[in-house]
Amino acid sequence: MSRTLRITYSLTFMGMLVGLGAWSVGGIESFNRTEQMTFLNGKLAKAAETHYDEQFPIKRLSTNLWAALDFKLFNEGRPGVVLGREQWLFTDEEFKPTAGADHLMQENLALVRGIRDTLQRQGTQLVLAIVPAKTRLYPEYLGEEQPASLHSELFNQFHAQVRQANVFAPDLLAPLEQAKARGQVFLRTDTHWTPMGAEVVAQALAEAVKRQSLLSGEPQAYITEAGASAPYKGDLTNFLPLDPLFSNLLPKPDTLQQRSTRPVSPEGEGGDALFADAQIPVALVGTSYSANPHWNFLGALQQALHSDVASYAEDGHGPLLPMLKYLQSDAFKQHPPQVVVWEFPERYLPMKNDLSAFDPQWIAQLKNTRKTEENLALSSNRTDH
């Protein structure tokens, strides 16, 4: 290698380093420091390091390039998403088998029974809203990868087992399948249902509640208003890290029309708002299907039930943990509602839950509620005889 060529090579390499360094420094402008981040506790340095690492150009370039190769050559995304036909995306939780699934299902069903019994002792009726999987509602958009055999009969199995346990769980699959002729009930690039799908479920639940005469009291009127439609980038696109270099490869965004629901009441009414929690007849517990305002499930439920509904749903914790927290809350202990609607996506039934935040003895009691009651009944019968 000649001296001129070595100098040219060295200067080019140094220029690349300087250029990449300058490019990465530009990412510092987007760094937001919070009050908790200080030099003394080390949180500022850690947060800055993490932010710099995420913004580092070489990392972004390699991530985008690798994702683009996976996407174009193998029709795959990162773990978490399964690619379907016509730019439909599905969560891989509806596809992969679960180790020890039968045992986990029985454990979770035992908790469902115990939770139902706990609510009944307070005079509260449980309405279990089992949300069908997106793959079940839109099998026509599945690609080569198919759900594991565990998931094929999971919905029917779930319903059969809760019926056997006398848990009230209205069928939501048929209404959603019928509604597909009128529009999308699940988002194409997201895990969740559309506002229309949420409304269909709310109406089906309300009809079931009415047939069983589970609610008493004066009906309340609600009105839902639709806002403007806008592009919506679904959560499943996060598992396709193609942005910004290959953003043109991403599935086109969904179109989401935001809805909002409010009570219809005369001006000046509602002066007792401070005491509203004590008078709310329905509680909603569940996952991001209920907690995320984008779908307006809470509002749709209020309008369909003609009743105020208090939401205790949480995003990112599955259906069991928010329900266990609700049972231990002052809101339930002091003011148990007439009805609890428990939104429970079917795919969570065979999943393991981290219940370490709760008293193990209490969890064991919930699981053994039915056995305990049966033993008490047997003891009582022996005493009577």
Known catalytic residue: 192? Answer: yes
- Per DSSP (E only), the strands in the chain are 81-83, 89-91, 125-131, 222-232, 254-263, 282-285, 309-311, 339-345
Question: Of 190, 254, 290, 307, which is the active-site residue?
Answer: 190
Known catalytic residue: 190? Answer: yes
Burial tier of 112 (Cβ tally within 10 Å: 0-12, 13-18, 19+): buried
Cα separations in angstroms, 145 against 75, 152, 304: 11, 13, 38
Please provide the distance, in angstroms rounded to a whole number, between the alpha carbons at the two ends of the chain. 105
Known catalytic residue: 51? Answer: no
β 125-131/89-91 pair status: unpaired
Cα separations in angstroms, 147 against 37, 142, 160: 44, 9, 20
Question: DSSP readout, 16-32?
Answer: HHHHHHHHHHGGGGG--
Partners of 186 in the beta sheet?
193
Question: Of 151, 192, 254, 290, which is the active-site residue?
Answer: 192
Partners of 229 in the beta sheet?
257
Phi, psi of 193 (to 5 degrees): -80, 165
Beta carbons within 8 Å of 363's beta carbon, 6+ residues apart: 111, 324, 355
Cis bond before residue 175 (omega within 30° of 0): no
Question: Of 151, 159, 235, 288, which is the active-site residue?
Answer: 288
- What tokens appear for 123 in the block? 């005079």
The three-class DSSP label of residue 99 is: coil
Q: Any idea which residues carry the catalytic annotation? A: 190, 192, 288
